[in-house]
A and B are shown apart, each in its own frame.
Chain A
Amino acid sequence: MATVEVPGSAPTETVRVRARAPIPWHVWLAIGVVVLLAAGALAAPWISPFDPDRTNLLRRLRPPAPLGGHPAHWLGTDQLGRDLLSRSLHALRTSVAIGLLGCIVSTLIGTAVGLAAGYLRGRVDAVLSVIVDTQIALPYLLIVLVGLAVFGTDVHVLIPLVSLAGWESTARLVRGQVMGVAAQPFVTAAEALGARPREILWRHVLPHVLPVLLVQFTLNFPGVLLLESSLSFLGIGVQPPTASLGRMIGEGRHQMLAGWWVVAVPVAVILAITLALQVIGDWLSDRLDVRRR
């Protein structure tokens, strides 16, 4: 296992970039699935065959076209006659947008907190630990509910709320990494030369934490995406008529006897995206050799 220096930094114990190995086929497959789904989500308004919210009571609960449904509805229709393909594409768009933004916010918060706790230690560290403990000890459902009650049920409110879910694991990870890096001689040297804490964190510590953050982001993203889906599934996330994958599954599960495809289509989309992201995340963390707990 040859080790290569991360450009512009000294090698540390935790981050090693291996000499280039070919990307295995299953990772290519996962990348393909993610690219395809992302393109579908991006282009949803233009490629959807129908308006996702338009109901058509004459075409209720039609099975997917290959199974004998209406030829215009490739993946069938739901209990209100809405086209499932169009709805899934729009739902994916909503879910991915909320998941992505939520994940970015949560990574930023977690990184800031982790840097502060890991570098400043002492009281800052203790106070932040108590906050993390308290958040873990509260049912997440309650936090979300209070947030929605105070700030309204708008989609924009959901983003900071879902970002509350992953920040503490990022913070914990960054804190550990920072403690390791801060003990290195070059940090001590920078301190001795009179560099201010902000400079040390920004110029010397952060670059070492970045690869770990990248992996954490890939591993966190499906979680945040699914969190939004779980909330919408319970009926307290994205509000109707906006389509969200979780909401489609939550409403579709009451139709399972009448038409299994109503729930199977969004389930298949969620399975595809989470499994593909998991494959990529696993591969990335192996490749960057990040130790995670």
Chain B
Amino acid sequence: MAGAGAGSHVGGLAGFLGRRLFRAAITVTAALVLAFAGARISGNPFDYLYDDALSVEQRAELAAEFGLDRPLAVQFAAYVGEIARGNFGRSIAERRPVVEMYAEAVGPTLVLGAATVAVTLLLGLPLGIVAAVRRRSVLGAMAMTVAFVGYAVPHFVLAIVLILVFSLGLGLLPSIGQDGPLHYVLPTLTLALGLAAAVVRFTRAELLAAMEQDHIRTALAKGVSPAGVVVRHALPAAMLPVVTIVGLQVNGLINGSLIVETVFALRGVGQLFVGAVQTRDYPVLQFGVIAYALVVVAVNLMVDVCYGLLDPRIRRGG
């Protein structure tokens, strides 16, 4: 529960971070164990990769090659030992190092993620401000529409609608593949609209709350222009919850990119992971789960640190 430490009472920022780090360590350890167990409980890769076409001897040979014929306890010890040495094993399907496969796939995903965050902020912040300040204008109505539609419509439906309209209907943009920047437009829009909706809602709500505070009214009374008040006084106060929201939506973003990469056939981390899930490629699956947990935990930690830096009450230990 991020933000639960807002009323922290022991030891200021260091103690606060210490407790967070401890909890993060527990979480990552749990993910490590569950990745191993979950992969093995959910099925056997040979059944999915070779469609039951293997003879008993071939199965045994493959199992021996990947160490899957050993007792589970031995497998687990080897798994933890290898990870400690930075070795995440080879893919059963492609017989290549897992790290190499993820390294190849991370490019498109990072481009997609960066573009999404950029578009989200470029779209969400101004619309949020407009929605708070000029509620009854056309722009304000547009802002609330984005906030509403983006919030309610799921990624896979939005993706299909965008393809139907912009690829099939108008023929403006490519729907699948990753040959150029144009291929990233629809995937980025799909992910960004949902996130921008959250940003619009929170920016608007926080700005409206901030505008009622005493220091804002004082600034207005002293003759600062309304625009100046919004930019210099109200906006900084409203940023804290907005940062939290963007941070907390990162796992939603990752889950969304699993779907978006599948729909738009982007060969990114998400598609690699979904493929591994479908074929039960243990090493690829395990690395995916651990990486996912690390990213989510790291982002939550960063949100907490931002909180600490932006809110002096937490920095001082309240």
Contacts and interface: CB of A to CB of B under 8 A. Distances in A.
A130 B161 contact: no
Contact of B293 (A129, A137, A222, A257): A137
A4 interface: no
Contacts of A282: 148
Interface string B141-161: 000000011011111110011
Contact of A230 (B34, B152, B154, B241): B154
Interface majority SS on A: helix, strand, loop or mixed? helix
Contacts of A149: 41-43
Interface in A202-239: 222, 226, 229-230, 233-236
A257 B31 contact: no
B157 A132 contact: no
B164 A134 contact: no
Contacts, number: 125
Contacts of B26: 130, 133-134
A134 B259 contact: no
B4 A233 contact: no
A274 B277 contact: no
Given A234-B259, A253-B160, A137 B38 contact: no
B1 interface: yes
B156 A249 contact: yes
Contacts of A136: 251, 296, 300
Nearest to B262: A234
Contacts of A138: 31, 34, 289, 292-293
A130 B148 CA distance: 32
Interface string B11-29: 0000000000001001110
B41 A150 contact: yes
A270 interface: yes
A139 B27 contact: no
A146 B274 CA distance: 14
Nearest to B38: A146
Nearest to B159: A253
B156 A230 contact: yes
Interface in A244-293: 246, 249-250, 253, 256-257, 260, 263-264, 267, 270-271, 274-275, 277-278, 282, 293
A140 interface: yes
B285 to A, nearest CB: 7
Given A139-B289, A249-B156, A267-B160, A134 B31 contact: yes
B255 interface: yes
A87 interface: no
Contact of A257 (B43, B168, B297): B168
A138 B292 CA distance: 7
A267 B154 CA distance: 10
A278 B152 contact: yes
A145 B42 contact: yes
Number of chain A interface residues as a range: 35 or more
Contacts of A132: 1
A141 B297 contact: no
Given A133-B23, A141-B277, A274 B41 contact: no
Contacts of B43: 149
Contacts of B30: 134, 137
A90 interface: no
B23 A270 contact: no
Interface string A141-158: 111011011100000000
A139 B31 CA distance: 10
B239 to A, nearest CB: 16
A260 B155 CA distance: 18
Contacts of A222: 152
A73 interface: no
B99 interface: no
A270 B159 CA distance: 13
A137 B154 contact: no
A246 B34 contact: no
B111 to A, nearest CB: 21
Contact of B168 (A143, A230, A234, A260): A260
Given A250-B156, A274-B153, 17 more contacts: A129-B1, A130-B26, A134-B31, A137-B292, A139-B254, A139-B258, A141-B255, A141-B258, A141-B274, A141-B277, A149-B41, A230-B154, A253-B263, A256-B164, A267-B160, A274-B152, A278-B148
Interface of A: 129-130, 132-134, 136-143, 145-146, 148-150, 172, 175, 222, 226, 229-230, 233-236, 246, 249-250, 253, 256-257, 260, 263-264, 267, 270-271, 274-275, 277-278, 282, 293
**Shortest 8 CB-CB distances between A and B: which pairs?**
A149-B42, A278-B152, A137-B293, A226-B154, A146-B38, A134-B30, A137-B296, A145-B42
Interface of B: 1, 4, 23, 26-28, 30-31, 34-35, 38, 41-43, 148-149, 151-157, 160-161, 163-164, 168, 241, 251, 254-255, 258-259, 262-263, 273-274, 277-278, 285, 288-289, 292-293, 296-297, 300
